[in-house]
Amino acid sequence: MSLLPLAQAQERVLTQIDALPTVRLRIGATRGLVTTHAVTAKEDIPPFANTGMDGFAVRSRDIEEASEQRPATLRVVETIAAGSVPSRTLDAGEAMRIMTGAPIPAGADAVIMVELTETSVSSAGDETVICRAPAPVGNHVRPAGDDLRAGTEVFGPGTVLGPAHIGMLASLGYEELDVVCRPRVGVFSTGDELVVGAAPLGPGQIRDSNRPQLLALLDEAGMVPIDLGRLPDDEQVIEAALQEAAERCDALLTSGGVSMGDFDFVKSLLQRLGHMNWMQIAIRPAKPFAFGTVLGTPIFGLPGNPVSSAVSFELLARPALLKMMGRHDTQRHRIVALADEPLVRRPDGKTHFVRVQVTESVDGAPRVRSAGGQGSHQLSGLAFANGLAIVPDGDGLDTGDRVRVIMLG
């Protein structure tokens, strides 16, 4: 079988994935989800003119000539706290003490910050404020609608909601919003050779690291990871688990059993129950990959080696699952960096994804060096990496060469 270019493999997967249905959620549960319609401001933000500073609301012309040498003195007639409203109009020669966020009283057109003033109280209890600087019209005044006007489109359909979006929705009075569903993605592992947790290893046994790793990757990507556990090498048990998982989940992940020479119960069941595309992709690690549907549910067959499983998820499963969430930005952020050391490889017709540590040099340029062992079984190198350097086919890169890097995490 000839090797398939990565871009073609990604296209094969993405063209078979559709966005999930819409669901209405409370806004606090929408972080990372995608809007399905435009969000419009229902009212002015802020809803009234208010001050952006603690100080005194004044008429600008009353203190336009104020200075350290010739301060202006005004009579303090009221205090306006945030959440309260002024009881009267501000007249000539008057000032009102005002706190940040409080409404500007009628008659006032400026605020002088408290640091430029000092107050005094007479024996009769009358308070005055001495202003030692002018305050031009509009000084520290935030007009009504300064941020948004009622009827304005705040953000459109297809927006990925972050904390600031949620804050904006709350400020507009939204309690719920229609968004694309967050996919429930099931992960299972199979094999009597796998040991879960700290149980002692028997002869030929290894610990199950792929399933915890994939569950964590799904959680990081904003999906709902469903731990389907470890299944024994029993065809009937695996078939029943597959059927239940296909009904319960929006997508499934499994690892191992996708290489050309592999034969296990999962692979034979997927061939019988599903519609699978078995691929050999021109990348290293993560050459073998399978994608299709089982009982109508998308399933991603990742390679069994732990680094290969993670890289395959990053390059093929993660973008497709993000598309399922309605996302258009399905790729990780990429940068161009300089190699701090040679990234050596041999020509083999594949693009290599080297686990690297990305740091910033004194001149601000990002630089990369190997994060450790590059074997597909060496999780330590992946654990210390924060990027995947894309090294094209050939003899590798020398120190100082430019390299594209997929940023992780």
Strand partners of residue 283: 351
- Note whether 192 and 232 are within 8 A (CB): yes
Q: What is the pLDDT of residues 301-319, one digit of tens each?
A: 999 899 999 999 999 999 9
Domain 6-21+182-324 fold:
Molybdenum Cofactor Biosythetic Enzyme; Chain A (3.40.980)
pLDDT at residue number 243? 92
Domain 28-44+153-180 fold:
Molybdopterin biosynthesis moea protein, domain 2 (3.90.105)
Instruction: Give the other-Cβ count within 10 Å of 267's Cβ.
Output: 20
**pTM for the full model?**
0.87
Q: What is the DSSP letter of 288?
A: E
- Give the start-to-end residue ranges of the domains of the chain: 6-21+182-324, 28-44+153-180, 50-142, 334-407
pLDDT at residue number 238? 85
pLDDT at residue number 1? 62
Strand partners of residue 253: 187, 300
* Residue whose C-alpha is closest to residue 181's, from 320, 39, 325: 325
pLDDT at residue number 183? 98
| CATH class of the structural domain 50-142 | mainly beta
Those residues whose C-beta lies under 8 Å from the C-beta of residue 46, and which sit 6 or more positions away, are 142, 144, 145, 146, 147
List the chain residues with pLDDT less than 50. none
pLDDT at residue number 202? 87
Please report where in the chains the tokens 């086919």 appear, as a residue: 393
Helix and strand totals (H; E) in the chain: 8, 28
pLDDT at residue number 320? 98
Superfamily (CATH H level) for 334-407: MoeA, C-terminal, domain IV (2.40.340.10)
